[in-house]
Every structure is written in C-alpha cells, then in structure tokens.
Structure 1
Amino acid sequence: MDWQKDFAVLDLASTDPKPELAIAPLTSWGAIAITGDDKKSYLQGQVTCDVVTLDAQSSTFGAHCDAKGKVWSVFRFFHHNGGYAMFQPKSLIEKELAELKKYAIFSKVEITESSDIALGVMGTQAQSFIDSMTDSDDDVRPVEGGSAIKIDAQRWLLLLTNTAAETLISSTQAVKVAESLWTLFDIQAGTPLLNAEQQIEHIPQALNVQAVDGISFSKGCYTGQETVARAKYRGMNKRALFIVEGNAAADIEHNAELERAVGENWRSAGKVLASYRFSDDKALALVVLPNNLDDDVQLRLKDQTDHMWTLSPLPYSLEDNE
C-alpha cells in the first residue's frame, strides 16, 4: 500500500482552523465483518445496541461485554457489503474476535476480521465530498468498493477495498493528512473509545456508550446485560469518559496516567485512552475518571508534572433523562 506514504502529520496549532477537506488512512482502525443467515439474531444476544431495529441507512455505537459487564470492545455498527461491520481500533480485534465467536458454532454466522481499508474524510467540505460519490442522502451509503458512513457534521468514514481506496486517493484534491487529525476530532466529540490495555476494565457507561445511544435498555438479554442494567437503574456506575485539556512539553505516552489533586497530594485518576498535542504544546485527551469530580479539579500527567490540566465540556449530556 505505497499510496499511504503520501500522508503527513498536520502541523496544527490550537488556534489554527482545521482544513476544509482532509482525508486520512485510519491505519490503527479496522472492522469485524459479520455475515450469514443468523447474523442479526446472534449479534442481538451479544452486544448492547439494538441490532434488530437498525436499518441499512443508519449506524449506531455499541459495546460487547463479558459476563460481568466489562467491555471487550466499543464500536460503530452498520450494514456493510450484505452483512454487518463493527468498526473499532485494531488493537481490540484479536481478543474481541475470539470472544464474539465463542458461541458462533451453534449459529449460521461467519465472523472475520475485515480486510477493507478505512479512510477518514474530515472538514466542512466532507459532506459535499461524499455527496459527489453517490446519489444517496442516507447516513450509511453504498459507494464504489464499499460503504460511506456519516460520523458527524464534519466527518465521514469510508470502508473500501484496497483498489477502491487507492483509486480514490489518486484522484482526490483533499489535503492528505495522518490519522492524528481524526483522533483530534474523536477527542473533541467525546467519542467512546477503548484500547487494548483497558479491555475488560470498564462497563459501557464508564465509556459514555449510553450517552451516544449505544445501549438499548429495552431489547432484552445480551452478555453482561444484568450489570449494565444495574448501573442504570441503581446508579452503580461511578466513572465516565471525560475530555481533559492542558499543556504537554513532550508527546503524551500511550496509556499515560493522569493524576488528580487531593488536598496537597496527588492520586491516580485514570489512564489516557487517546490524546492530541498541538504544535503550540496545547493538548487534549480522553480519559475515564470518577464521575463525581468537581468541575475545577486540578489534574496533571504523572510523567509531566509541571503542567496542570482541567476538565473540558463534553458535547453531549451525561444526565439520564429517561
């Protein structure tokens, strides 16, 4: 895939506007493909989202849990190539595949890691770019070589064959950027994320999956459902995913530890799931923290103690209004 060499890290300061149209190969992301006659019923008993009611024109967030309600994977779920796709970080897929396939032998379903290429289209012109590829106006659209999936007002995901991806890249006038810009959008959107180091550490609500409509509380039983329901109806969840902001003198280590001030002392608060450092050393991160922290709590990276961090507002509510 030599065409991927054309993409470069964007030199972006915190005050700079993002490109109006950019495209990035999402090399650390992948998808699990699910096909077969029993795909709908099988997945309905495995994941938090309502597979049965999802139409072919829409996508949804979802999570797959173990029997205790701890999360193996958080994903975006949609119809793709005659089956379903679960779009998620590649680092999750090995363990997630094994868990998802545990009982598949009893059903007519095939579950595999997709070989498709993921491309992220970003910017104020992302919508018009996708519109030029197809006459459809749906949020999930078949396109040449795969599917286009709307992420938000300024982002679309393309899941394509290698040939279709290469053809698209060779003809586009979009700014070709590295995946880090997609990460910045994810952080600013408060996107529920997980990494391999934190698999089976959190329940879905600690990753805000419920806040983005990734949990159905009316669909019936699925693996881990009892714990997920208890967290909602008995208020047992004590953590949530937050956006934090501050300064970083150096690149932020993968899975870096964030500390919070407790009086004159510092205590571990959580580990970073994703981060972005601007060229002017401003930085943003996603991290699971206790959900009862004061808005003005002081935070810092354990390995960069000279800079204070603070909570930044999420673009959605964590209040349970049901």
Structure 2
Amino acid sequence: MTHASSILSAQLLEIRGADAIGFAQSQFSSNLLTLEDGQWQASAWLDPQGRVRWLLQLARIDAQHLVILLRGGDAASLAQALRLYVFRSKVQITARTALPIGSGPALAEHAVRLDPRTGGQHWGFGDYSMAVGPEVAGDPAWLQRQIQAGWPWLPEAAQGVHVGPALSLHRLGGLAIDKGCYPGQEIVARLHYRGGLKRHLALLEAQQAAAPAESLQLDETPAGQLLNPFAVTRGESVLAVLNDQIEPTGFLVRQRWAP
C-alpha cells in the first residue's frame, strides 16, 4: 500500500521558441524528433558521466512549445542550469508554479492534454492518466501504479548518482542511442554496446521501515539504493537500483528490469 500522506506535487518547466525542439534535442537523452504534437516521452538530463541529474516526462505541445514534468528535483534549479547552454538559441526557459498530482481518467499512453483555462494537464498511461493542475485533488493512487510498472521517481539524494540504464530508461523509451550528441551520450552508447553494468531497476517489498533514498545492504555489502520519495513501512512496494543477483537485507525482490 501507499500512505495517503505520500502525495507528490508536479514541478513543471516550459521551453518555448523557434529553437525549442533543437535545443531540447541537444540536451536531453530521448529523441524528440519521434514526438508528435500532443505526445510525451520519458527523458533525462545527464551529466558528462551519463548519470541522471534530472528525470523527466517531456511533452511536445507544438513545434515551439515543450512542457516538462520533473520526476524528482526542482524546476527552478533545472531551468537555471539549462539557461547556461542556450547561447544563441531562440528559446525561453520558464519554471512554473508546482501543482498537485492526482489520478486521472484513461488516456492513450504517451498522449498529453492541456487545459488552456486552468493550465491543468493529463499525461496518459493507457487505462489512467496523471492529472496535474490547480483544481486537482492530489492522491497517491497513480504513484502506486507506476511503482508496480517500474516508472521511477528520483529523490534528491539519488540525483546525479545512477546512469540512465540503471534506471531502466532504455525500456521506458528515454535513452536514444542513434541520435546526435547530448551530455553523457558517449557513456550511454558504451554501456549499450559493451555492457558491464551490474546494477538495474528492481521492484521490492519492504520487510521493515525505510527512509527516502536509503542505501541497501546485504549483511555489510553495499547492494543499491531505494528510489522512494517518502518513507515506507513494512509491506509497501518500492523501486530501487539494485545490484544484480543480490537480495538486500530487509526487502523481498518482486521483479527486476533490464535497461
């Protein structure tokens, strides 16, 4: 289960301008050229070592308007960091006021709808959607469904720690191998073609209480890190980046995902 107090807010950022698509394509790990108007994709902003600084849902509203929902982290900080790379690009990067997230009606997977009246949004996941907006009654039901499906949320202590494949971003469509350069692309390609990564995303069941982003161990051997944005209690499900073939003390492994 997930406690009713475990309610997240949406940190939102907009990129507008004639060069919005080109700028985002050069910075984020997904391939925006595959997006059509009214669609969103998983993505990330990586550091030069391929570690995920910000985990994102990135929507194309039209050719000059992108909306980004951060899966962890602060929108104002991301906006400030991105502005350092604008140079001569014709873009405006704006952090928006955080809004409640709740469970919304069914909407085609990767479809996005905006309400021009309220600024609200629906991000489609098939038989449900993430509803975001000032009139939304926040609830945790959508988060539990995403935990079970392997959609991670990156707590602050896990930002800049894990490479994209460890967060299963290939599986989620958030890592492009065959597009032009972006920060961390060389590391992503090397891991894809040469392998060698020994930590991947896993679904765990807690057998004890655990703090957000807690380090995992097997006896005294490091085993990984939880990706929970809230404290969890016994019996709750949580995602983690976990060493392959290790079951950490105090948790049961329910599922493991490839990159």
**TM-score band, normalised by the shorter chain?**
0.7 to 0.9
SS of the residue aligned with 1:41?
Answer: helix
Q: Deviations over 1:69-128 (max 9, x none)?
A: 121111111124861111114534344333322111321111121226243215xxx22x
Contact 1:276 1:283 in 2 (8 A): no
What is the correspondence of 1:46-195 to structure 2 with a 5 Å cutoff?
46-80=27-61, 83-89=65-71, 91-115=73-97, 117-121=99-103, 126-127=105-106, 139-143=111-115, 144-146=117-119, 147-153=121-127, 155-160=128-133, 162=134, 165=135, 169=136, 179-195=139-155
Partner of 1:259: 217
**Higher radius of gyration, 1 or 2:** 1
SS of the residue aligned with 2:11?
Answer: strand
Give the CA deviation at 1:185.
2.1
Q: Distance in 2 between matches of 1:255 and 1:282?
A: 17
Instruction: Specify which of 244, 254, 257 is matched with residue 312 of structure 1.
Output: 254
Instruction: Specify which of 229, 234, 255 is matched with residue 194 of structure 2.
Output: 234
Give the CA deviation at 1:189.
1.5
| Residue 283 in structure 1 maps to residue 236 in structure 2 | yes
Amino acid at match of 2:215: E
Contact 1:31 1:90 in 2 (8 A): no
Instruction: Specify which of 248, 256, 259 is matched with residue 299 of structure 1.
Output: 248
Amino acid at match of 1:120: G
TM-score by length of 1: 0.70
Q: Distance in 2 between matches of 1:271 and 1:179?
A: 25
Q: Structure 1 residues 232 and 225, CA, compared in 2 at 3 Å: closer, same or farther?
A: same
Amino acid at match of 2:124: K
Amino acid at match of 2:216: L
Aligned residues: 253
Instruction: Specify which of 159, 162, 167 is matched with residue 207 of structure 1.
Output: 167
Structure 1: runs of 5+ lacking an equivalent: 1-8, 12-23, 131-135, 170-175, 301-307
Structure 2: runs of 5+ lacking an equivalent: none
SS of the residue aligned with 1:226?
Answer: helix
SS of the residue aligned with 2:220?
Answer: strand
| Residue 270 in structure 1 maps to residue 224 in structure 2 | yes
Contact 2:29 2:182 in 1 (8 A): yes
Q: Distance in 2 between matches of 1:208 and 1:49?
A: 13
Contact 1:72 1:92 in 2 (8 A): no
Contact 2:19 2:90 in 1 (8 A): yes
Q: Distance in 2 between matches of 1:25 and 1:255?
A: 16
Give the CA deviation at 1:179.
4.1
Q: Structure 1 residues 215 and 35, CA, compared in 2 at 3 Å: closer, same or farther?
A: same
- The root-mean-square deviation of aligned C-alpha atoms, in Å, is 2.8
SS of the residue aligned with 2:87?
Answer: helix
SS of the residue aligned with 2:157?
Answer: helix
Give the CA deviation at 1:206.
0.9
Contact 1:180 1:276 in 2 (8 A): no
Partner of 1:39: 20
Q: Deviations over 1:13-39 (max 9, x none)?
A: xxxxxxxxxxx9742x31111111111
Q: Structure 1 residues 186 and 276, CA, compared in 2 at 3 Å: closer, same or farther?
A: farther
Amino acid at match of 2:113: R
SS of the residue aligned with 1:106?
Answer: coil
